[in-house]
Structures are given as C-alpha cells and as structure tokens.
Structure 1
Amino acid sequence: MFSRFVRRLLRGQTLREWLIEFLRFCTVGLGAYVVDIGLFNLLAYHWPIELPFDQSMSAKFISVAVSIVVAWIGNRLWTFRDKKQNNRRREFTMFVTVNLGGMAIALGCLAVSRFILNFDSQFADNIAANVVGLVLGTAFRYLCYRYIVFAPPELANQKK
C-alpha cells in the first residue's frame, strides 16, 4: 500500500526529480507568500484608503489575488515548465480555481479567528490567515497543481 502511494506521488519521476520539483514549488510559493503577506499588511494596516466590508478581509482577498498571478507565472515557467499545458487560458482558469479554494481556506481561517473567536489584532489576523491558512492552503494547492493543473491530460483524466 505504501509503495503504491509512493509510485502515485512520484508519477514516473525519480525521488530526486520529485524533490527538485517540490523545492521549486516551495520557492515559488515563498515568493508569492512574501507578496501576499506584504500586500495584506500594507492594505489592512497601513493603507490610507478604507477598503469595503472588513479592512482585513478585503485586504486578504486582494493580496491573495495578486499572489495567485505571481504563483502561476513562477510555477508555469519554472516549477512545472515541462508539464505545462498548451492551452494557457484553460491552465490559468484551473490554476485560479484551485487558488480560489486555497483563498477560501485562508479566508475561512481568518473569519473563524475574527468572527467566532473574536481575535482582531494584527498578530491574530496574521496567525489565522498567514500561518494556519497558509499551511492548509499550500497542501491543497500542491496536490491540485501536481495532479490536476499541470498534469498531462491523460493523467488528469485517468480514473484512480
């Protein structure tokens, strides 16, 4: 059972190739994370213009949207460059859809922290959205990128 899991995880790659791909994914993700965190904190706490709805929730929505574009470019051109699809529009649409799921995870963590637990400090917002939400969202995104977005069409459509 474990060896079958490893074979599926590697998907025809050697362990070294998979590790390089995973480290590239983490590097691109770190860049997108810096964009996300920096823009979130700028908009939520240092932006002179009031954003609609809740300042932190709106700031998180905007920062994640910008970081999605940064991550797509990095992953398409570097991490999964050998697996990118020919149809950029379809690939980007799938990428955005997966990232909307990741954003929903981060926003969900932030909403629970702010509206259920009543934690509304900058520190609490960052822990909820940018630590807890990041870990859960990253796991979700990596699996979706690898097996859906940047999978060769025959693997993406293959029944498990």
Structure 2
Amino acid sequence: MSERSALRVRLEQLTREFAKFGAVGGVGLLVDLGVFNLVRHLTDIPVVRASIVATVVAIGCNYLGFRYFTYRDRDKSRRTKELTLFLLFSVVGLVIQSGVLYVATYGFGWDSPLQSNIFKFLGIGIATLFRFWSYRTWVFRALPAREAVQTAESFLGQEPSGARPGPGSEPRPRPEPDRVAR
C-alpha cells in the first residue's frame, strides 16, 4: 500500500470516527440544552449552576454513546481506568464550557435566555474540540495492531496468524471441507 493510499485510508477512518463522535455529541447537545433550559425555567437555580446540572446529565448519556457506538471497537480491558479518565476529561470540558458562560453572564451581563443559550452553545463547541482530542487519545485507546488481529482471529475461531508452533510440536491439521461432520 502506497503512502498516499495509506493516508487516504487513515483520513477516511478519522472522518468516520469524527462523524460517530458528532452523532453522539449531537444527542448530548440536545440533552444538555434541553435540561439546561428546563432547569433554568422551572427552578431558581442560577444560570451557571443550571448549566453544570445539564452538562452532568449529558456526560452520562455521552459515555454510553461513546463506549457502545463511537468507540465500541476500542480496548475494553480497563473499564475503571477508562471511566475515570472519561470523567476527568469531561470535568475539564465542563469547566471550559461553564467558564465561557460564566464570563458572558457575570463578566458582561449577558443573561437573557437567548444570550445564555448562545454562550452555552459556544462553550460546548470549544469544549467539544478538547473532548474529541482527549477521548480518542487517552480514554478510548485503540488496541495495538497485533492484539487487535489476534482478538479478531480468536473471535472467528482461527489461530492467530503470528502464532508459530513451539519447538518439537506439530502444527494442528485443519479439517478438509469434504470431511467436516454434519
């Protein structure tokens, strides 16, 4: 495979990953803005606190979407570490988006429902860039290529292609197609 075609394949994979990330993020955005507006209009909770409540609910929805849709093929062996890192980076994203809303609300006095939604949306956008990078780099790590092939081959019931018989052992014969028991 040439460098150009390898680059094209990698770019296509990244595009698919970003599209899946965006689909989950779109649902998270609707949850975040929906809960934010409900909490803001049904309670006396201040704007930034309402935003934090909404973002925490969206983080829970997003984890399920990322783990079981966007990154379902990634390493699942360290769920505790994965969830810890996910929450850590999600909190950093929460601080980013709440910071944008805080500055707009308390720094500039832009507190109307429309202004709050605009700056909440802007904060989510900035935080999303950070989250995309951190989740794919640190949280939902790709399996090493060799391990991924061995996992796939064991799932399909085949010996890993890199497996070599040990010294003094005979390779196992594979059944011929006409001798398979029915």
Structure 2 length-normalised TM = 0.71
The corresponding residue for 2:141 is: 151
Where do 5+ consecutive residues of structure 1 fail to align?
A: 155-160
Does 2:16 correspond to 1:20?
Answer: yes
Where do 5+ consecutive residues of structure 2 fail to align?
A: 145-182
TM superposition outliers: structure 1 runs of 4+ over 3 Å = none
Q: What is the distance in 2 between the residues matched to 1:35 and 1:84? A: 27
- Number of equivalenced pairs: 141
8 Å contact from structure 2 (residues 74, 143) kept in 1? no
Deviations 1:28-47 (A, max 9, x none): 000010000000000012x1
Map 1:60-139 to 2 at 5 A: 60-130=51-121, 132-139=122-129
User: Which of the pair has more CA radius of gyration?
Assistant: 2
Residue type of the alignment partner of 2:86: F
CA positional deviation for 1:102:
0.8
8 Å contact from structure 2 (residues 75, 143) kept in 1? no
Structure 1 length-normalised TM = 0.80
Does 2:44 correspond to 1:50?
Answer: yes
Deviations 1:34-82 (A, max 9, x none): 000000000012x1x433xxx2111111100010011110010111111
8 Å contact from structure 2 (residues 97, 123) kept in 1? yes
CA positional deviation for 1:153:
7.6
The corresponding residue for 1:157 is: none
**Percent same amino acid at aligned positions?**
30
Q: What is the distance in 2 between the residues matched to 1:142 and 1:85? A: 18
For the aligned residue pairs, the C-alpha RMSD in angstroms reads: 2.3
Structure 1 or 2: more helix by fraction: 1
